[in-house]
Homo-oligomer: A and B are copies of this chain.
């Protein structure tokens, strides 16, 4: 089965907005092994849209349309579809009553203009939209099937799950495809590729995809078949990958973040963290506090951009700063233990570096960051130096990732 996606809306042809809805539809198609061959965006123009639909219906088995189902004059998806298929529309009083009730439930009176949303195309199956007022439609056109969805992301998401997913399940060749994601932190892509090579051989090269960005890799893998069968297969691949990669796997799931994992480990251990930041300017603290409930384990941070504040807030000895410079291993370690004592946390992540673009030198180039983490016993200050050839934001982002990962590794260690 081959599919095309058409997004309708003049605002999607402007300079600011992209059709992000298509990504969700694409993911659902991929799960069911359906190939997407084209996607397009057209404005709120009945003739153009009708031509686009006619063409796509002649090319593929499944055409998914989003947008243009609203109540106003410029919403022309219903009319364009009727024109493309040579069908008539009719007013559906039952559907109007449904839409009217939706408004009433929200304590509103339905504006007269919304009656337009009760126009249906002859032969179409109305798709209930409990997340908004615009009903969807499913239509047959020769050997192809056409779906009309609203463009509001929340409504589309709900209707995809309610109407499109079961329909695809029934038609998917060889059952549906399911995806699982493992997140891996601070491993070079080439190292990871080497580590998982045996899994490629066992499960097939196409079953596993590596998506890398600085400091984080997403490992995506798929399985086909019935739900129970897919779960078994995914468990099998996951177990194998975790054995091959080891503790660098920090979470399962696309939405998982390193700061969440670190937070869970801290909460489980009943321990707290503080940060002492220079070049990251508070980014590590900001990341830790993105997580709701982080006040259970995050106490605070000292952002010490100036050397004076490094001494005053973190008790870094001025002679250490003078001898080694602010961007150095001894200063990072001193910030970490000093921060732990001054702010009273069990752990302290400290970072000092040169985020650029200015301030670099031959032995301390832009991108050099010293990161230290002090733990409950003062002997166990760990240190890492990175040198990353990115821009200012990239360097700060990677440094924050490495700092969080160093803490995670400490938290994984069995306590004596």
Interface residues of A (CB under 8 A from B): 13-16, 18-20, 22-23, 26-27, 30, 36-43, 45, 48, 51-52, 55, 59, 211, 275, 277, 279-286, 288-290, 292-295, 298-306, 308-309, 312-313, 343-344, 355-358, 392-393
Residue from B15, B26, B37, B288 within 8 A of A26 (CB atoms): B15
24 example contacts (A-B, Cβ-Cβ < 8 A) are as follows A14-B26, A14-B30, A15-B27, A18-B19, A38-B43, A55-B55, A275-B303, A281-B298, A281-B301, A282-B284, A282-B289, A282-B301, A283-B286, A285-B303, A289-B303, A292-B357, A293-B358, A295-B305, A295-B306, A300-B302, A300-B306, A302-B313, A303-B303, A308-B344
Contact of A309 with B299 at beta-carbon distance under 8 Å, contacts A18-B23, A26-B15, A42-B37 already known:
yes
Contact of A309 with B41 at beta-carbon distance under 8 Å, contacts A16-B211, A283-B286 already known:
no
- Complex CA distance for A238 and B20, rounded to whole angstroms: 33
**Identity of the chain B residue whose Cβ is nearest the Cβ of A314 in the assembled complex:** B300
Q: Which of A19, A40, A393 gathers most chain B CB within 10 Å?
A: A40
Q: Copies per complex?
A: 2
- Complex CA distance for A292 and B354, rounded to whole angstroms: 10
Residues of B within 8 A of A306 (CB): 295, 299-300
**Identity of the chain B residue whose Cβ is nearest the Cβ of A288 in the assembled complex:** B281
Residue from B39, B284, B299 within 8 A of A40 (CB atoms): B39
Residue from B279, B282, B358 within 8 A of A282 (CB atoms): B282
Residues of B within 8 A of A393 (CB): 290
Are B290 and A286 closer than 8 Å at their CB atoms?
no
- Complex CA distance for A27 and B308, rounded to whole angstroms: 47
The distance from the CB of A24 to the nearest CB of chain B, in whole angstroms, is: 8
Residues of B within 8 A of A302 (CB): 300-303, 313
Residues of B within 8 A of A23 (CB): 15-16, 18
Residue from B20, B38, B48 within 8 A of A41 (CB atoms): B38
Are A39 and B41 closer than 8 Å at their CB atoms?
yes
Contact of A37 with B45 at beta-carbon distance under 8 Å, contacts A286-B282, A292-B392 already known:
yes
- Complex CA distance for A52 and B52, rounded to whole angstroms: 11
**Identity of the chain B residue whose Cβ is nearest the Cβ of A13 in the assembled complex:** B36
Are B37 and A40 closer than 8 Å at their CB atoms?
no
Are A309 and B38 closer than 8 Å at their CB atoms?
no
Residues of B within 8 A of A300 (CB): 302-306, 309, 313
Residues of B within 8 A of A281 (CB): 282, 285-286, 288-290, 294, 298, 301
13 further A-B contacts with Cβ under 8 Å, apart from A280-B289, A281-B288, are: A15-B27, A37-B42, A51-B59, A279-B289, A281-B286, A281-B298, A282-B303, A289-B303, A290-B392, A292-B355, A298-B305, A300-B304, A313-B313
- Complex CA distance for A22 and B298, rounded to whole angstroms: 43
State the 3 A-B residue pairs at the shortest beta-carbon distance, nearest first: A282-B282, A281-B289, A301-B303
Residues of B within 8 A of A37 (CB): 13, 42-43, 45, 48
The distance from the CB of A350 to the nearest CB of chain B, in whole angstroms, is: 13
- Complex CA distance for A201 and B293, rounded to whole angstroms: 50
- Complex CA distance for A86 and B82, rounded to whole angstroms: 35
Q: Which of A36, A39, A281, A356 gathers most chain B CB within 10 Å?
A: A281
Are B39 and A13 closer than 8 Å at their CB atoms?
yes
**Identity of the chain B residue whose Cβ is nearest the Cβ of A356 in the assembled complex:** B292
Q: Which of A19, A38, A280 gathers most chain B CB within 10 Å?
A: A38
Residues of B within 8 A of A42 (CB): 37-38
Residues of B within 8 A of A303 (CB): 275, 282, 285, 289, 300-303
